[in-house]
Structure 1
Amino acid sequence: MLKNIMKAGVLALVTIIAAGCASSEGDSKLTRDVYLRGVFTWWDADPQFQLQPVEGKENVWSATSPVDEPLIADGQPYEWKFGDAAWQCGTNFGFKSGIADIKLGERREMNKCAAFDNFKFTPEVDGVYRFYLDWTGELPVTYVEKVEM
């Protein structure tokens, strides 16, 4: 009887510890490093374009376009998406439905397993832009904002 009570106590303790670890590590919906990848990053999973948590916002990350080579407002769209280093389903984010074009500040739902569904962003003015992945809801969304330098 005492042996069963001790087993139950140990099991309860392990469950509590595991739950605590899961809650602290499981808060993030991203399970791998994800990068802003596009024509302006040469589609590479470059550490300078790794998504970083947005301060004060849970499950919101961002990365900026190259600071040393601002995006040019020449009427041509820049193709981009978010993806991990291996383009794995679950962290390969492209547009979900409709058209691929996204305008400044517009929020668009994303597909987490987007093989070829790249977004297209055409800047209206030359500059550096911040690309956001917001997964605070059930589906991840993205938006783009201009960085004031």
Structure 2
Amino acid sequence: MKKILPIIFLGSAITACSSTDSFEENAVSKTDIMTPIYLRGNFNTWEAQPEYQLKKINKDILQTKVKFSTAGETYEFKIADKNWSQGLNCGYMSEELDQFIESGIPVQANCNSIYNYFSFTPYESGWYQVSINFRQKTKPLVTINQVFE
């Protein structure tokens, strides 16, 4: 009986190590984005401008504000770094499901896109908050919400 206990204990210790390793791998896969990214669109001639740099809200979510001056006009945009780098060039994932954004409804982004511009047509002119959630790095979510000030 004494010889069996160390074997059972050793098995439990290995299982505990295995769980810890997998937890650490998941934590490492959710690294923070260090490169500045910007809201870039037809409203700012697609430039990476400081006033449209997305700010970190928490470890997964970045956001910025933009004023859409004309209700009913379609604004096209992407979220990207200064160089339109692969992995940080975020447009829509599915043309059918994600291209046209409605206020308050998240859509999936593809951050390796080239021409997949999001489209948003505000019902009212005013300030809007644009955010991207990188919790699931392979399918980040983009959301627009009207800001009432």
- Provide Cα deviations, 1:63-118, integer angstroms capped at 9, x if missing partner: 1114xxx4310x22100010100101100000001331110011111001110000
2:69 partner amino acid: L
Distance 1:94 1:86 in 2: 15
Q: What does residue range 1-149 of structure 1 map to in structure 2 within 5 Å?
A: 27-28=31-32, 30-54=33-57, 57-66=58-67, 70-73=68-71, 75-99=72-96, 100-138=99-137, 139-149=139-149
Paired residue secondary structure (1:40): coil
- The answer to whether the 8 A contact 1:61-1:133 is kept is yes
Alignment root-mean-square deviation, CA: 1.8
Paired residue secondary structure (2:100): coil
Distance 2:112 2:31 in 1: 21
TM-score by length of 1: 0.74
Specify the structure having the higher radius of gyration (Cα): 2
TM-score by length of 2: 0.74
1:80 partner amino acid: F
Paired residue secondary structure (1:104): coil
Flag structure 1 segments of 5+ consecutive residues without an equivalent: 1-22
Distance 2:35 2:56 in 1: 13
Higher strand proportion (structure 1 or 2): 2
Aligned residue pairs total: 119
1:137 deviates by 2.2
